[in-house]
Amino acid sequence: MHAYRTQNCGELRKSDVGKTVRLSGWVHRVRDHGGLLFIDLRDHYGLTQCVVDPNSTAFAAAEKLKPESVIRVDAEVVARVGETINPNLPTGDVEVAVSGIEVLSEARELPLPVFGEPDYPEDTRLKYRFLDLRRDTLHKNIMKRQAIIWSLRRRMREAGFFEFQTPILTASSPEGARDYLVPSRVHPGKFYALPQAPQQFKQLIMIAGFDRYFQIAPCFRDEDARADRSPGEFYQLDLEMSFVTQDDVFNAIEPILRGVFEEFGDGKSVTQKFPRIPYAEAMRKYGTDKPDLRNPIEMQDATEHFRGSGFKIFAGMIEMDVNTRIWAIPAPTGGSRAFCDRMNSWAQSEGQPGLGYIIFGGDGEPPGKGPIANNLGPVRTQAIRDQHGLQGGDGVFFVAGLPQEFADFAGRARTKVGTELNLIDKNQVALCWIVDLPM
């Protein structure tokens, strides 16, 4: 018999009943059920329930086990019956009756429990990262990451791309952030730079005639963390193509990205043909060049409705500067005073003076309510309502000024409205190309 295991902890099934096996792994948890000890034994592959009878020679050792101790067990596979079957576990039809236990590594009291995955402070999790990474959620995340990379590699090769590795120690090639510098032992006083992206090297590969390059490329940038990026370093699917047009690039990459999201998107619908949205249109409709298209809200220009109107704040801004624009952010189902007040408070917390709004009434009511509607008058208010196709019980918010100054806030306000009103379809992956970026 193998010194440590004949099977892994996620392998045993009903067909193994009656076999004598040897398993090794970590003690996930120990449960005492009226004298019988149940040990959930965990390894990379899964979980197996081990049962230790009080009459077993292994019982004394089992009583002393602490979570996360590493043990080896010799046991016989037996079938579970009735309510003891666990349909949520791949090995849930069987358990192993333990005849022998050897403690390979005894754990002390844990600073960070693994079972149950409690929420611990980040500094504790990072200090004891080896424990943190044993948690099921993080273990699955890391395995999903490698599966995605494997899938990307396969798809890129099938699309005719060739994988090359480019140097890490190189000369400075700024990509918009500060370089990380590495001192040279051979050339005192001089430094290598870590690549912000493999830009120069992949262009050399193209000039050398290799035609289609890709790499899961490490990129190093001395910049702050972002919501979707760790500080300092990240990996990106990097590629280059020769003798191609923009359409060729889109047509090559679209099925690869679509396929990856379909494979790992947990059943969410994925955009089949990516829309191409000009940069200026994206900024006007969404306030950003990376719009969340799961949110159906599209902003529109409402400047002309306020020009020369009785709402003097906006009308005065338009008269003072011809570049002033008033953007409307429709809020379907958001026509309540409580919601509008919450949005106004949120805007003030973002450093804005506020967020003007109109609440649209139902049949037999004035077309709009609120200070803006009162000063605009029913005709202009109705025109705004018609422009956005809004109904009774809906609302609309306004931002005013120079678009280059308020677009970012307007985009965040659009996201806030969509999130608060549950308008975002979380069961889809909505992808697009942003084209015609300003150069």
Residue holding tokens 């992949």? Answer: 202
Tell me what the mean pLDDT of segment 135-148 comes to. Answer: 96
Secondary structure (3-state) at 17: coil
| Side chain identity, residue 145 | R
pLDDT digits (tens, 9 = 90+) for 13-34: 999 999 999 999 999 999 998 7
State whether the Cα torsion 240-243-247-248 is positive or negative: negative
d(CA 45, CA 25): 10
pLDDT of 172: 85
Tell me what the mean pLDDT of segment 232-240 comes to. Answer: 94
Tell me the pTM.
0.86
Under 8 Å between Cβ of 258 and 270: yes
pLDDT digits (tens, 9 = 90+) for 162-216: 999 999 999 887 777 899 999 999 999 999 999 999 999 999 999 999 999 999 9
The chain-wide mean pLDDT, for the chain, equals: 94
E strand residue ranges, 222-258: 232-241
d(CA 434, CA 128): 42
pLDDT of 131: 95
Whether residue 118 is predicted with pLDDT greater than 90 in this model: the reply is no
pLDDT of 262: 97
pLDDT of 165: 96
d(CA 291, CA 301): 18
Q: What share of the chain has pLDDT > 70, as a percent?
A: 100
Vertex 26, ends 23 and 30: CA angle to 5°? Answer: 100
pLDDT of 204: 95
Whether residue 48 is predicted with pLDDT greater than 90 in this model: the reply is yes
pLDDT category at 60 given cuts 50, 70, 90 is very high
Under 8 Å between Cβ of 331 and 338: no
Tell me what the mean pLDDT of segment 133-141 comes to. Answer: 95
E strand residue ranges, 362-438: 395-401, 428-429, 433-435
Helix (H) or strand (E) holding 300: strand 300-301
d(CA 178, CA 372): 46
pLDDT of 224: 86
Q: What share of the chain has pLDDT > 90, as a percent?
A: 91
pLDDT category at 230 given cuts 50, 70, 90 is confident
